[in-house]
Amino acid sequence: MLAAGSSRATEAYWQAVAAIDGDTEHPLPEFYDELRAFATEHGLPGPDAGTVPETRQAPDHGSSITDREHQSADAGPFLGDVTRLGQVYAWANEFDLDRRDPPLDADRLVAELEAKLDELGASDEQAVTVVRSLSRRSSISYRAHILIKLARRFQERGSAVAADLLVLAWCAGRTGMIEPFGGFAQRDLLQAAKSCDEQRARSTLALEIAHLVEAQYGSPLTRQIFDALVALDDLDGAFAIWDAAVEVIEWRLPEFGNELTSFLEAGPDLDSDGTRFAFAHLLVVGVRHPDLDRRAAAFAGLAEAVAEWRQEAAAMIEFIADADSAFTDLLAALQIAAASGQAGRSALAQSQDLVSSCARASGFALSFIAGRLAEQLGLDVNPPLPEQAARLPTTAAQTQQALRQDYADRAEFLAQRWYAFPRRVAEHFQAIWRGGLARNTRIEREQTELQYSRARSWVPPQVLHLWRNELYEIALQDGLDDLCQHLMISGEWRINTRPALHDITAPDAPGAAARGRSRITRPSSLSRPDQVEPGAGPPPMISSGPFAGWTVLGYHERQLVEVDYSHGQSTIVYAGLTSGDRDPDSLPWASGRGDFRWHRQQANRDTTSAVAAGPLLQWWVQHDAFAFDRGLTLRADVRTRLGLVAAPLPAAYDLIDADGETMIVWRRWWMRPHNYDYGPRTPWFCGGALLAGPAALEAIAGLVSTEATFHQQVEINDLAGPG
- Asked if 138 and 211 touch (Cβ cutoff 8 Å), the reply is no
Average pLDDT over residues 213-237: 74
State the pLDDT at residue 89: 47
Least confident range from 26-35, 122-131, 249-258, 367-376: namely 249-258
Q: Is omega for the bond preceding 383 within 30 degrees of 0, making it cis?
A: no
Taking alpha carbons only, the member of 142, 193, 197, 143 closest to residue 165 is 193
- Asked if 170 and 190 touch (Cβ cutoff 8 Å), the reply is yes
Taking alpha carbons only, the member of 85, 97, 99 closest to residue 132 is 85
Residue 618, pLDDT above cutoff 60: yes
Asked whether the CA dihedral 580, 581, 583, 588 is positive or negative, the reply is positive
Q: What is the dihedral of CA 240, 244, 246, 249, to 10 degrees?
A: -160
Residue 674, pLDDT above cutoff 60: no
State the pLDDT at residue 125: 78
Q: Angle at Cα 617 formed by Cα 692 and Cα 696, nearest 5°? A: 25
Q: Angle at Cα 447 formed by Cα 443 and Cα 450, nearest 5°? A: 150
Interhelix angle 124-135/77-92, rounded to 10 degrees, is 30
Query: In the structure, what pLDDT confidence band is assigned to residue 1 with cuts at 50, 70 and 90?
Result: very low
Full-model pTM: 0.65
Strands 684-692 and 662-670: antiparallel
Give Cβ neighbours of residue 363 (< 8 Å, ≥ 6 apart).
327, 331, 474, 477, 478
The Cα–Cα gap between 287 and 280 comes to: 11
Alpha helices in 436-466 (DSSP H): 437-451
Q: What is the dihedral of CA 491, 496, 502, 505, to 10 degrees?
A: -60
In tens, the pLDDT along 412-454 reads 999 999 999 999 999 999 999 999 999 999 999 888 887 877 7
State the pLDDT at residue 430: 94
The Cα–Cα gap between 404 and 406 comes to: 5
Residue 630, pLDDT above cutoff 70: yes
Average pLDDT over residues 266-280: 63
